Structure 1
Amino acid sequence: MALVLVEGAVLACSHGGRRRLTGGDPRMTVRGSGVLTAGAEAGIAFGSAAQPVPGMITPCTGTNPSGGPAPCLTTATLPPGLSAKLTVGGKPVLLSTARGVTVPPGAPPGTWSVADPGQDVLEAIR
């Protein structure tokens, strides 16, 4: 089993960027934080030192071929990052095993993974 992600969970990109997630679903909470469901992880920008974004903890150091900043942008999660049994509003919840590809603008792809699920109480079957 893997831990369920909640609002405040942290994603990390392969270029060292870290970003806190928002938008948990209040229909299911863990210690007051809404659970994150499938899709909440897609399209998250990590930001760079020159272009910080809300929720950024550490900037992404990805660069494009000319050396300019190209912060990572997440794609949807790959298996086994979604629960097979636990859903909220018909959507599977995101798990601490979630990972995926990043698509930095004008730069080679990277990867993202969960650095901190935001809680350590609720587990779900993957």
Structure 2
Amino acid sequence: MPLVLIEGAVIGCPHGGQCKLTGGSPSVTVKGQGVLTAGKEGGFTFGSAASPVPGMVSPCSAVTPAGAPQPCVTTPTLPPGLSISLTVSGQPVLLATASGITASGAGPGTWQVVDPGQTILEAS
């Protein structure tokens, strides 16, 4: 079974950008960090070297055809990245198998989980 994502989990874009997710639920925690539920990953913007964002681990190198930085923005998770067995406040939790589409100056791509943030809690 895949691991559940917790606050501080790292997602990455196809252009090398990596950021930590925030907004974990305080009602279910692992190692003191709240689990992440569906929706916490959608609409997230990776930072660029010129415009870092909070939680940025590494910048997204995507640029427009004119060469201006335009880092990736995420869309919500596509199945099978959502748990069918574990929910928090009626929302499915995000799993290490989560991924989704990105939009950037370089065109569409796919984001994925780099580090779920924990190695204890699994769900299907």
Query: TM-score normalised by the shorter chain: which range applies?
Result: over 0.9
Residue 40 of structure 2: aligned partner: 40
2:92: which partner in 1? 92
Q: TM-score, normalised by structure 1?
A: 0.96
Matches within 5 A, 1:66-85: 66-85=66-85
How many residue pairs were aligned? Answer: 124
| 1:32-86 superposed Cα distances (whole Å, 9 cap, x missing partner) | 1000000000011111000100000100001111111110010000110000110
What is the match of residue 116 of structure 2?
Answer: 117
SS state at 1:3 partner: coil
Which stretches of structure 1, 4 residues or longer, exceed 2 Å deviation after superposition? Answer: none
Q: Counterpart amino acid of 1:44?
A: F
Structure 1 residue 107: deviation in Å? 3.6
Unpaired segments of 5 or more residues in structure 1? Answer: none
Aligned-residue CA RMSD (Å): 0.7
Where does structure 2 lack aligned partners over 5 or more consecutive residues? none
Could you say which residue in structure 2 is the equivalent of 1:52? Answer: 52
